[in-house]
Structure 1
């Protein structure tokens, strides 16, 4: 599942894209840029592919945003053998896990600070995803263990 959000900094918006493995709720790919282009979401998926390897029978779910419907992104899905799934227009509920992740990121980490630069915000998002969310944050849907603990137990 994939989506992106944005965070205000003194330099302007920082766009954050993420790819979540719904099985473990682990963020397996992410990307941050100053603009919301198809490259933003492509880079996040490429990181996920690098981390997880060549997928078999994988479904990629997102909204119908222009970044996800772009030729560049769609070609990456085809080349990787990933089936594309998209929400109906105006239906955010089937992307609720990603919306929840971004809400949690903003509530638990980003809303308490004013970032002087995009790089400062990038460092904070990286720290949250890689050093806290994936490794230590407990999830009720996973039996109150972190995504990495859940994967290790399976």
Structure 2
């Protein structure tokens, strides 16, 4: 039997690490989120993002619509919608020794370890 939990505030529910900045970074994360059987999203759940090309692309927009997810994008000069995520990345960069890694596999391992720590401790 799998435990299901409601998404809580400040918890990372899905992420994707890649060595390339492509649209797949954004779409893979959404697919991982929606395929996570341990999480139940609120019916009005939405995604915070900036105005980057990944998040404004028609393919990404169509994917959010398919899953019934709303989207909140920060407007130019107003970063408040995305501030919690920017804060998270600031902490991740401070707390993970990512500069010492030599391979993508090592980086993924360090990030996976940090995500467990961040979500649970």
Please tell me the TM-score bracket, short chain as reference.
0.7 to 0.9
Equivalent position to 1:62, from 24, 43, 49: 49
SS of the aligned residue for 1:85 comes to: strand
Q: CA RMSD in A?
A: 2.0
Q: Gaps spanning 5+ residues in structure 1: where?
A: 1-20, 137-154
1:134 maps to: 119
Shift of 1:29: 0.5
Shift of 1:70: 1.2
Shift of 1:90: 3.6
Q: Which structure's residues are more often strand, by fraction?
A: 1
Count of aligned positions:
114
2:27 maps to: 42
1:139 maps to: none
2:108 maps to: 122
Instruction: State the TM-score, normalized to the length of structure 1.
Output: 0.66
Equivalent position to 2:60, from 73, 87, 93: 73
Instruction: State the TM-score, normalized to the length of structure 2.
Output: 0.83
Q: Which structure's residues are more often helix, by fraction?
A: 2
Shift of 1:124: 0.3
Equivalent position to 2:16, from 26, 31, 39: 31
Distance 1:54 1:95 in 2: 19
Shift of 1:100: 0.9
